[in-house]
Chains A and B, each alone.
Chain A
């Protein structure tokens, strides 16, 4: 797997879309950073954190969908899928290597985002925060992005089945829209990204989470089902489809 992962990272070399993704992922921080500078003393750490977190929670799933889908779609665009699938490894292992590479890469990007966001927050507001208040923030941010990254197989399956970049991008935008529509209600457990937002945010602001453990557990189960079904779909695809 190590070799397959290294090969996947090699394929990302000079990929311009990576730079765009990296820049896009900083938008919430940049926009709110400017806000922080312009508002001066009126800004509080809670507002600064929540503004960035809220925007990031909406933007990052879209980034995950579009980048992961695009990353898989590239094999079709470059017409390399036939060659890639003909290498002497189980096909599902080849697909898994790409899923893991996408996970690592997007995790690193989100980690850089969080470190810069929280680092800035600490420098500006650190003196007015308790230790427990501060540690809740990275826990919330990393929980949110790590759980969101588990949905990469969904994007991969869409790319594999559709082989169409438009479908991949529309799915990314649709994910963003569905998430914002469902966010406020308990039905949000039915959609992984809105569930992840509500589940994570309750670590910082309890009132914004779910009212019962049952709802949280149901949301986790549904999200698990999304991921499992997508992985199963990729497994079936890798075994059944004639290339």
Chain B
């Protein structure tokens, strides 16, 4: 990825609270116009990472770069205005109507209001309910309003923490399509943190999996391939991890007898690479991995392979 295409990048980002590391060594490059699925168990540091990227949670070490400006050392209100978010919970003023809540948000950002408020409420399917007080709405409507606020000012970067929480299946589909439209229409970069693997599977171009404050897995072009493979290569003790990383997303383990790695490449491609490295490609075993398998495998939980060995 070129620097020009990077909407945002972080360098050796770390957050510690009372001596406890919440985030460690986070090096991210978020490309313009892509959807990133951010996965990880509770307490992995996903929400903290989103807060740091939003500019409201200064990191203990490292830096966040947005348009080649350090978000914390060279803060620029114009940059902050180009970020939309739902973090933790879509909080709004109970005593204001849905349209007043969005109007208030746009007023803070010096934006035209009446038309923009109506437009965005139409987009999220809340226009008919615009005069309802926020306190009188359902969880699903609150979530939609959260999305409305996040996209109301046409941000270049959207940081969404569980955006489909509380929505019914129809609402989830609508939100998914709406977010994809945002990317297509405005080239928005979206980071979605979610526990709904099926949604990430359908939406994300790229995957980021975190555990215990670290990024343990990153895969670009996840959506294009639609599948991951777990490969096992026995008697590969001569291979270097760095060499394997050329055609894999993640090296799971490398012992004296076997090396295990994950790749988005199909077995035939991986076999070519293995041959080029001088290893015995005949012994290569490949298994298709579902996102759930991958997630559980990475987090050292029980998993099962989805299909039989590859060709």
Contacts and interface: CB of A to CB of B under 8 A. Distances in A.
Interface of A: 3-4, 6-7, 10-11, 13-16, 74, 78-83, 85-89, 242-243
Contacts of B94: 78
A82 B88 CA distance: 9
A80 B81 contact: no
A198 B56 CA distance: 44
A11 B95 CA distance: 8
B81 A88 contact: yes
A13 B109 contact: no
B77 A10 contact: no
Contact of A7 (B88, B95, B107): B107
Contacts of B78: 88
Nearest to B55: A86
B80 interface: yes
Contacts of B17: 242
Given A13-B96, A79-B91, A85 B56 contact: yes
B127 interface: no
Contacts of A87: 80, 108-109
Given A10-B100, A88-B78, A243-B57, A79 B89 contact: yes
Given A79-B88, A79-B91, A87-B80, A3 B107 contact: yes
Contacts of A15: 95
Contact of B92 (A80, A81, A86): A80
B115 to A, nearest CB: 19
B51 interface: yes
Given A10-B96, A11-B96, A82 B91 contact: yes
B58 interface: yes
B262 interface: no
Contact of A242 (B57, B93, B110, B149): B57
Contact of A10 (B57, B92, B104, B109): B104
Interface string B73-97: 0000110110001011101111110
A14 B92 CA distance: 14
A240 to B, nearest CB: 9
B80 A78 contact: no
A11 B91 contact: no
A82 B87 contact: yes
A4 B108 CA distance: 7
Nearest to A10: B104
Interface string B88-128: 11011111100010011101111000000000000000000
Contacts of B209: none
B78 to A, nearest CB: 7
B54 interface: yes
Contacts of B104: 7, 10-11
A78 B56 contact: no
Contacts of B58: 242
Interface in B9-59: 17, 51, 54-58
Interface string B143-183: 00000010000000000000000000000000000000000
A80 B93 contact: yes
A83 B77 CA distance: 14
Given A82-B56, A83-B91, A14 B107 contact: no
Contacts of B149: 83
Given A89-B77, A242-B58, 13 more contacts: A7-B104, A10-B103, A13-B100, A14-B95, A14-B96, A78-B91, A78-B93, A80-B92, A82-B88, A86-B55, A87-B108, A88-B77, A242-B17
A118 to B, nearest CB: 33
Contacts of B103: 10
